[in-house]
């Protein structure tokens, strides 16, 4: 059996996001399906959203060598993991990932402060509705927006709702984290696959193009008419690209 595959999902979701990939990949690879603090079955009290602390905890749970596969916020953690543990992370897969989620003066490829604040207020007021609204936005850019929205809402309903404090902390993490300088100074040297929807409105495609130009051994797989959750909406294409990358 080949080396382990480590999966890290995105904000507001849980490990079930990978449901279409785990079974076929588990025939050849041990699977580690990690969850964000306070999401799914992961504890919130003993974990937090400090970047390096969380990466260190994850790294301690997985043998070397491994491939780390991160989606959205999970991709930010995967990037930092590859930097901190280059001997452990053999390959890196980043799905709908950005080095900087928030919009900056020198970074137009992020989410404006007003949108982030609106989501933070929605989570504080009514977490269930806020998560459903966010799930709906993940489907923007898809050829079948309604169908993908149904998939995402069903995914939300398949696990307990994330801890509200964890959701707020995750939004703060996204607003504050900017890996661009670190990636310029010490770009991960691992072979990297970037899977990104061209219609993604959460992490624009330009963010993936920036990563492709910055990471020395990255290849970008663009998916037309695809939003922020390609492992759900384009699961067959994502699986085929993953298998080809892992076998290379």
Residues 6+ away with beta carbon under 8 Å from 81:
55, 58, 59, 68, 88, 89
Residues 6+ away with beta carbon under 8 Å from 142:
148, 197, 199, 225, 226, 227, 233
Q: Assess whether 2 carries a catalytic annotation.
A: no
Catalytic member of 72, 109, 221, 233: 72
Catalytic member of 14, 39, 221, 228: 228
Is the backbone of residue 9 left (phi > 0), alpha (psi -120 to 50) or beta? beta
Q: Residue 231: which of 208, 200, 207, 206 has the closest Cα?
A: 200
Q: Assess whether 200 carries a catalytic annotation.
A: yes
Catalytic member of 9, 109, 196, 200: 200
Catalytic residues: 72, 200, 228
């Amino acid at each position: 059996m080949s080396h382990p595959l480590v999966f890290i999902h995105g904000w507001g979701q849980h490990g079930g996001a990978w449901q279409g990939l785990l079974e076929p990949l588990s025939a050849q690879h041990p699977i580690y399906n990690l969850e964000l603090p306070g999401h799914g079955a992961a504890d919130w009290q003993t974990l937090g959203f400090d970047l390096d602390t969380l990466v260190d905890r994850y790294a301690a749970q997985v043998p070397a060598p491994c491939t780390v596969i991160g989606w959205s916020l999970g991709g930010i953690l995967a990037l930092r993991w590859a930097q901190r543990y280059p001997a452990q992370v053999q390959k890196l897969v980043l799905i709908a990932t950005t080095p900087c989620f928030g919009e900056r003066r020198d970074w137009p490829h992020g989410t404006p402060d007003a949108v982030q604040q609106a989501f933070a207020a929605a989570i504080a007021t009514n977490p269930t509705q806020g998560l459903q609204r966010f799930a709906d936005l993940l489907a923007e850019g898809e050829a079948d927006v309604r169908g993908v929205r149904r998939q995402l809402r069903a995914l939300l309903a398949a696990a307990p709702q994330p801890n509200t404090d964890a959701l707020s902390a995750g939004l703060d993490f996204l607003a504050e984290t900017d890996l661009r300088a670190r990636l310029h100074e010490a770009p991960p040297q691992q072979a990297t696959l970037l899977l990104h929807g061209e219609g993604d409105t959460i992490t624009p495609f330009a963010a993936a193009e920036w990563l492709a130009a910055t990471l020395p051994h990255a290849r970008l797989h663009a998916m037309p008419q695809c939003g922020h959750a390609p492992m759900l909406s384009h699961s067959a294409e994502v699986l085929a690209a993953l298998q080809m990358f892992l076998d290379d």
